[in-house]
A = this chain, B = another copy of it.
């Protein structure tokens, strides 16, 4: 019923909503998807007609519950695929994103169920992103915060890293900064550079602010159900 393209828009809007909160602007969507603003205007018009989002002209856009459900379905496909490729087909951590993007629109409900079963109904993908549950209720990340919201001396456990840029992923993977890793912030330079110490291997790692902003962390003590992460 919905085209692949529409699903991509809904996924993008969902992601942007999480990052910056609604309303999401035309140009942000255009930027994110690599389309021109008029294209986005035309597409959100169609999505509005289908009741998948609410739009206020010249303001921006917000997903309806129905639109959010579709976005979560696609996201569930994406993250299950990432987990499966890593776990069962020997993909490295940074290779899975594009493959999952290509496949996420074309797998059946049956396939989704079987992949989830083969993985043991996982709750996070290899990057630490939460996999929406089969009933498509919105996952809650309120127990995590951005690395950049913390200060020197704070001891934290990495919860998620962004999966947008493969090079960045490669770098973080090399550095040992992966979901589950305990780190300590050793320095914050005024020009936007965060230095952390990886507790396991005692190595120091400097991260540009743009990267640090995409890393989600949680306090080290309280146990959490995000541990069954498999490295690349």
Residue contact A106 to B108, C-beta cutoff 8 Å: no
- Would you call A43 an interface residue if the criterion is a C-beta within 8 Å of the partner chain's C-beta atoms? no
A2 to B98, CA, bound (A): 19
Q: A99-B107, A102-B108, A103-B106 are in contact. List 19 more A-B contacts (CB 8 A).
A: A85-B111, A88-B88, A88-B118, A89-B111, A89-B114, A89-B115, A89-B118, A90-B114, A91-B114, A95-B110, A98-B108, A99-B108, A99-B110, A99-B111, A102-B106, A102-B107, A103-B103, A103-B107, A106-B106
A107 to B99, CA, bound (A): 7
Q: Which residues of B contact A102 (CB under 8 A)?
A: 106-108
Interface footprint category on A = 10 to 19
A90 to B89, CA, bound (A): 16
Copies of this chain:
2
A170 to B88, CA, bound (A): 29
A64 to B108, CA, bound (A): 34
Q: Which residues of B contact A106 (CB under 8 A)?
A: 102-103, 106
Jot down 22 A-B pairs with beta carbons below 8 A, ordered by A.
A85-B111, A88-B88, A88-B118, A89-B111, A89-B114, A89-B115, A89-B118, A90-B114, A91-B114, A95-B110, A98-B108, A99-B107, A99-B108, A99-B110, A99-B111, A102-B106, A102-B107, A102-B108, A103-B103, A103-B106, A103-B107, A106-B106
Name the CB-closest residue of B to A95.
Answer: B110
Q: Which residues of B contact A108 (CB under 8 A)?
A: 98-99, 102
Mark each residue of chain A from 78 to 109: 1 if its CB lies under 8 Å from any CB of chain B, else 0.
00000001001111000100110011001110
Name the CB-closest residue of B to A90.
Answer: B114
Q: Which residues of B contact A107 (CB under 8 A)?
A: 99, 102-103
For the complex of A and B, the 5 pairs showing the least CB-CB separation, nearest first, are A102-B106, A89-B114, A106-B106, A103-B106, A99-B108
Q: Which residues of B contact A89 (CB under 8 A)?
A: 111, 114-115, 118
A111 to B110, CA, bound (A): 20
Q: Which residues of B contact A103 (CB under 8 A)?
A: 103, 106-107
